[in-house]
Structure 1
Amino acid sequence: MCITLNSKNKFGFVDGSIAQPAETNPMAGALFRCNNMVLSWLLNAMAKDIVDSLLYLDSARAVWVDFHDRFQQTNTPRIFQLKQMMNSSMQGALNVNSYYTRMKMLWDELKTCQPTPVCCCGGMKAWNDYMEQEFVMLFLMGLKDSYTSIRSQILMMETPPSISKVFSLVIQEERHWVVRNAIGTETFNGAMESANVALTQGGRRRPTCTHCGLLGHIVVQCYKLHGYPPGYWSKSKGTSSPSATTKAQQCGSSLKPVGLQSSSSPHVSSTVAPTCSTSVPSATSSSAASVMALTTD
């Protein structure tokens, strides 16, 4: 309110520097209008239950004095509260800018409640530097553990920096952390994207069999579960299907010797004839007799 009144050049109506003029004063009308305007500003800025007790006061100065006497309090409880809040303030989930703003608001209010004496000899400079270092220590104590390195660097400086310099160093450290985390996130996303590309074909994700764990088919199409088709040839290993291999083994195991030995013909020896039921028929008694006749002739 004081800032608003000063900007309008009307603060003299509440601090008493502009006295109420006499009715014979030619400027009395203009001053009364200005007084009523300031009075309306004050009443509009107050709560309704407070305004009801001030309606019968006719000057802005009287309203200001009544309001000041009614709500004026000593600064000691507020100073205790401010110092307690500053000592217990922690950064937590706030960023550095928000944390600094909150601490700066508390510190400025504390300086207002404890005004520094005015000195023209320069002796108060040491006191002001000491108070600023107190603020720096409170600010550093509330930072998160991730700022331990920059906090150690600030504390080891020979010349204690100002609070503005400390804030600049800490905010640079925060930006460094943000950039490093962003690079790590991009690297992780790139690795995940590469893995997804390896699992995709034609823009779609390839299915995975729940039986054998291979890509490209589902369980109802799994050869290992339902059997290989005839003539299946594995491209990866260059081997035929288990069914074709088994059939060939069965045919090979069915080969047996057919003895056609004659005591009168020494040139006739035992031969081996395939007897696989699928391709080579077995020798009968008539065919054996025909072969015997030809050999005896």
Structure 2
Amino acid sequence: MVIAWIYNNVSDSIKNSILFVNNASDAWKILEKRFQVVNGSRKYKLCRDLFNLKQNGVSLLEYYTAMSIIWSELEDMNALPVITTLTDEIRVLMKTLDVRKQEAKLFQFLNGLDDEYGAHRSQLLMMDPFPSVEMACSVIQQEETQRETLKMTVGQSSEIAVMYSKGGNHGNSNGSGSSERCIECGGRGHSKDNYWTIIGYPKWHNTYRKNFTSKIGNVSGRWQSGRSNNRRMENSTSV
């Protein structure tokens, strides 16, 4: 039964190499020796791919997903041995190893981001302690969404400007000229689609900087709260 399962789950070329092995244990040992050597090359390729992985204009979701796949495979290859006796020293060691691993992921993620997120990268690296890579991705993703919304608004405004420059009606129904009025704030000179409070402030504006700092603080608060809950669960489990 086991040997049949092995035959059915390997390619034809691999199957031919163990075709005359009648014992499942021997067949498994042959395959283990054969592919154990390849693991070193596979690890090297994954590490190289991870180092060379850059955003290069793709969406943040695509970039983060590609990086997560590599991380997952590397973690499977670098699995730690099972610990049967859990002491306080081992808990501290495991926690330290996890912090180092999370820091490495954060640096790899930030390193591959496009240069347009350089300011956000600097802000995240100044946080103490460092945020998790999930938190950093959340902050950058919010910025990406805001930029996409702003680009759409700017594009629509440009189309309207072109239409008016080509002889569109500048006035109201009675033909007299009038300034555009925002239905959101009541001010003149802009429309609701160009109202910064709705679409987001430009990067040079002080309000944008305050909002960004507040955004990081909110995400950091949720992250710290999650870590505190995890610690309480670990402590209750250990008791």
Bucket of the pairwise TM-score, normalised by the shorter protein:
0.5 to 0.7
What displacement does 1:102 show? 1.4
Amino acid at match of 1:146: E
Alpha-carbon distance between aligned partners in 2 of 1:75 and 1:49, rounded to the nearest angstrom: 19
Amino acid at match of 1:143: L
Alpha-carbon distance between aligned partners in 2 of 1:54 and 1:39, rounded to the nearest angstrom: 10
TM-score (normalizing by structure 2): 0.60
Are 1:111 and 2:88 matched, yes or no?
Answer: no
TM-score (normalizing by structure 1): 0.49
Amino acid at match of 2:18: L
* Residue number in structure 2 paired with 1:267: none
Contact 2:105 2:133 in 1 (8 A): yes
Alpha-carbon distance between aligned partners in 1 of 2:40 and 2:14, rounded to the nearest angstrom: 25
Match among 172, 182, 203 for residue 142 of structure 2? 172
Match among 32, 48, 53 for residue 68 of structure 1? 32
Amino acid at match of 2:9: A
Alpha-carbon distance between aligned partners in 2 of 1:61 and 1:76, rounded to the nearest angstrom: 24
Match among 91, 95, 99 for residue 125 of structure 1? 95
Cα RMSD of the aligned pairs, angstroms, is 2.4
Amino acid at match of 2:149: V
Gap regions ≥5 residues in structure 1: 1-34, 200-297
4+ residue segments displaced more than 6 Å: none
1:1-297 pair list within 5 angstroms = 35=1, 38-73=2-37, 75-118=39-82, 120=86, 121=88, 122-123=91-92, 124-196=94-166, 198=168
CA separation of 1:141/1:39 partners in 2, compared to 1, >3 Å: closer, same or farther? same
What displacement does 1:165 show? 0.8
Alpha-carbon distance between aligned partners in 2 of 1:57 and 1:97, rounded to the nearest angstrom: 46
What displacement does 1:40 show? 3.8
Alpha-carbon distance between aligned partners in 2 of 1:79 and 1:171, rounded to the nearest angstrom: 29
* Residue number in structure 1 paired with 2:216: none
Is the partner of 2:55 in helix, strand or coil?
A: coil
Q: Tell me: higher relative CO, structure 1 or 2? Use CA pairs within 8 A at least 6 residues apart.
A: 2
What displacement does 1:117 show? 4.6
What displacement does 1:92 show? 0.5
Alpha-carbon distance between aligned partners in 2 of 1:51 and 1:88, rounded to the nearest angstrom: 35
Is the partner of 2:17 in helix, strand or coil?
A: coil
What displacement does 1:197 show? 5.6
Structure showing greater radius of gyration is 1
Alpha-carbon distance between aligned partners in 1 of 2:19 and 2:47, rounded to the nearest angstrom: 38
Amino acid at match of 1:128: D
Gap regions ≥5 residues in structure 2: 170-239
Amino acid at match of 2:69: M
What displacement does 1:179 show? 0.7
Higher helix residue share: 2
CA separation of 1:76/1:47 partners in 2, compared to 1, >3 Å: closer, same or farther? closer
CA separation of 1:94/1:187 partners in 2, compared to 1, >3 Å: closer, same or farther? same
